[in-house]
Amino acid sequence: MVREMKFETDRLCIESWDTALGSEQEKQAFAAELAAILTPPVLKSLPEPMQLADGEAAISDWIAARHAESHVLTIRDGNASLIGLLILAPSGDAEYPPTVHIGYLFSEIVWGKGFASELIGGLVAWYQDLGEGTQLLAGVAHGNVASANALQKNGFKQVPDHSDPDTAMFRKDTQFNFDRLYSSTAHALGAPSSEIVEFFSTLAGDGLRVLDIGCGQGRDALFIARLGHSVVGVDIAPSGIKDLVSAGNRENLNVDGIVADITNFQPVGQFDVLLIDRTLHLLSADNRVAVLRRLIGHVAPQGWVIISDEPENMAAFKEVFDTEEALWKPHMETDEHLMLQHGAG
């Protein structure tokens, strides 16, 4: 982990167990603390590879095994007593979105006090603040209602596709902090995709009105405005809108920027093109469809809707247009792109 992981909640202090595993003496003291909480009822809730072996070296072997496969953090109470462990297994560095499998155990003497929920709440808050759009995954044995509740209380949802007969898998996606990214990096998202370039380069008509939803710093909006169209860009990240508007002013382009949350943003008037490039996937499934339904009401007759998004979201978007089949003519469709023209007018 690049950033040191340490956080506190009302009753808990969580930090890497490395701080307790310095000298030989510290290791021995920690092994004794750990042995006191790895009691049979606690071990019973852990998977087979995490069971304690027999013999004198059992605890130090257990520590070494966890060290080799995961990041482990101690959970201490207000008296600095060890009451549990938080175990994190991140996916490989190159994977996007970054994924972390989480597991935890608590000493049986603190069960039933709501610590699990408090721990998960603190963990989610830490990842939200990190702002890397991390996907948190937690497997819970079927029947472990307390753990399932602790996760659900903190916004985790069960993922049936990744669950199996023994384990229910829960997932929580934390948000990527685009505002921070745009504040520190110019042109953070690079050039427009070839599909967007192709569409707008061959689009007939001058001075069209384009609404770019989730425009970021304007990689699409500026390209489109340079073709002579007028663009309204909307984004929740103020630093993105600031960059868009400054670039538009510098080049004397017809660009307007609005800082707004698209889940409640109401556009004014009609647009010839509604562009939503890789933004809807950042909303909840219900919001994605609701936002799309609201916005397509602002597409002028003969106007266009251009959507780029995750392949798994496309079916729900197509359904929105299918319910108004007579109105929308498909223009282009790939796994990640959907382009339609408003048939009326």
Ligand X SMILES: C[S@@+](CC[C@H](N)C(=O)[O-])C[C@H]1O[C@@H](n2cnc3c(N)ncnc32)[C@H](O)[C@@H]1O
* Chain centre distance of CA 118: 20
203 to 54, 198, 199, 200, 227: CA distances (angstroms): 73, 9, 6, 5, 10
User: Cβ closer to ligand X: 76 or 337?
Assistant: 337
3-state secondary structure of 126: helix
Q: Which one of residues 279, 305, 328, 341 is an interface residue with ligand X (CB under 6 A)?
A: 279
310 in contact with ligand X (CB under 6 A): no
Residues 103-132: x/- map of binding to ligand X (CB under 6 A)?
A: ------------------------------
- Amino acid at the residue 156: F
Greatest pairwise CA separation for the chain in angstroms = 82
274 in contact with ligand X (CB under 6 A): no
Looking at 23-31, 104-112, 216-224, 242-250, which segment touches ligand X (CB under 6 A)? 216-224
Q: Which one of residues 37, 137, 255, 262 is an interface residue with ligand X (CB under 6 A)?
A: 262
Residues across the chain: 345
User: Cβ closer to ligand X: 98 or 240?
Assistant: 240
Helix or strand (DSSP H, E) at 224 = helix 219-226
Read off the tokens for 123. 């963990």
277 in contact with ligand X (CB under 6 A): yes
3-state secondary structure of 240: helix
189 in contact with ligand X (CB under 6 A): yes
Q: Which one of residues 31, 119, 150, 215 is an interface residue with ligand X (CB under 6 A)?
A: 215
Q: Which one of residues 73, 222, 282, 338 is an interface residue with ligand X (CB under 6 A)?
A: 282
165 to 105, 156, 212, 293: CA distances (angstroms): 22, 19, 44, 37
Cα separation, 212 vs 274, in Å, equals 6
Q: Which residues in 221-250 contact ligand X (CB under 6 A)?
A: 235-237, 240
User: Cβ closer to ligand X: 118 or 235?
Assistant: 235
* Interacting residues with ligand X (CB under 6 A): 178, 189, 214-216, 219-220, 235-237, 240, 261-263, 277-279, 282
